[in-house]
């Protein structure tokens, strides 16, 4: 029996909406998409894969008691908030806002091109925190055929919790006030990566790099497995998987398709 139980979350089964200016998929219940079987997983509450058209975006709105981070895939994301932060975030950037007692912000596509990013929310371990803002950036080289740790708990080894802006792995992951570690990888054809899982849960996601697709997943293909004699599970762009984990077990991802693929792995307590 495998040390990691894998339950696929197929792309076409996610919530999705095409608002013209916004094309989005919801892994968990969000906005008009409500599904009790997919409301949250551990501290992980939202994974939205968003495409925002040029010159548009999310106007100023408020949040509290969430850890909110954006993983920029393509284009440039313009962020403004009530803490006085204004920043243009290109591909490779991770921006994390610890909303705490409350913040307001806007997120828009910057320039003449759309922006493709993942908006992720987690539940903080401590309530009524002072709002804070962090950025980190990771090149494609940092992630190619290896894991880059892009977000990690505030008290984890290597996390610089008082560093607002960081550039590359030398500055470590963005600090999150949740029992969550996020790894990112870009896998070349035929390559595989492994990761020892520390928590009891995990979530895996294949980023939809080939374009918005409401149907059955297409594009890059990976196989994932979790040690032991459990079967491999094939996933394509937009697909994900819930993981039930025996701590210390090895999670394996292999690119079995004909193009590079970008993937995210959440390790959850």
Digit-coded pLDDT (tens) for 68-96: 999 999 999 999 999 999 999 999 999 99
Site of tokens 């908030």: 81
* Residue 105 in marked binding region: yes
For residue 95, the enclosing domain spans 4-268
DSSP state of 41: B
- Give the domain CATH number at 18: 2.60.120.10
Q: Is 107 one of the annotated binding-site residues?
A: yes
Please write the tens of the pLDDT for every residue from 145-195. 999 999 999 999 999 999 999 887 779 999 999 999 999 999 999 999 999
CB 209 within 8 A of CB 220: yes
Give the tokens for residue 122: 């987690």
pLDDT mean over 1-23: 95
DSSP 8-state secondary structure symbol assigned to residue 188: P
The residue behind tokens 């007692």 is 101
Kindly report, residue by residue over 91-135, the tens digit of the pLDDT.
999 999 999 999 999 999 999 999 999 999 999 999 999 999 999
pLDDT tens per residue across span 212-226: 999 999 999 999 999
- Structural domain total, the chain: 1
State the first-to-last Cα distance of the chain, in angstroms, to the nearest integer.
22
Find tokens 């892009």 and name the residue. Answer: 150
């Amino acid at each position: 029996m495998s040390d990691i139980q894998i339950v696929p979350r197929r792309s076409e089964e996610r919530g999705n909406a095409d608002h013209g200016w916004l094309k989005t998929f919801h892994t968990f219940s969000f906005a008009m998409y409500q599904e009790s079987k997919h409301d949250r997983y551990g501290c992980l509450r939202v994974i939205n894969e968003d495409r925002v058209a040029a010159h548009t975006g999310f106007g100023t709105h408020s949040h509290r008691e969430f850890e909110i981070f954006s993983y920029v895939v393509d284009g440039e994301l313009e962020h403004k908030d009530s803490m006085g932060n204004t920043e243009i975030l290109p591909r490779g950037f991770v921006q994390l806002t610890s909303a705490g007692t409350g913040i307001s912000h806007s997120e828009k596509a910057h320039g003449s091109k759309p922006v493709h990013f993942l908006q992720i929310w987690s539940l903080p371990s401590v309530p009524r925190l002072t709002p804070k803002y962090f950025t980190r950036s990771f090149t494609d080289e940092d992630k190619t055929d290896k894991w880059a740790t892009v977000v990690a708990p505030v008290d984890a080894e290597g996390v610089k919790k008082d560093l607002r802006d960081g550039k590359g792995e030398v500055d470590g992951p963005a600090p999150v006030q949740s029992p969550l570690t996020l790894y990112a990888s870009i896998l070349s054809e035929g390559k595989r990566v492994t990761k020892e899982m520390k928590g009891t849960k995990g979530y895996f996601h294949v980023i939809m790099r080939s374009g918005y697709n409401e149907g059955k997943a297409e594009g890059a293909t990976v196989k994932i497995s979790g040690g032991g004699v459990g079967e491999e599970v094939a996933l394509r762009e937009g697909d994900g998987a819930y993981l039930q984990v025996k701590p210390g077990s090895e999670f394996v991802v292999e690119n079995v398709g004909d193009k590079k693929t970008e993937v995210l792995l959440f390790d959850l307590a």
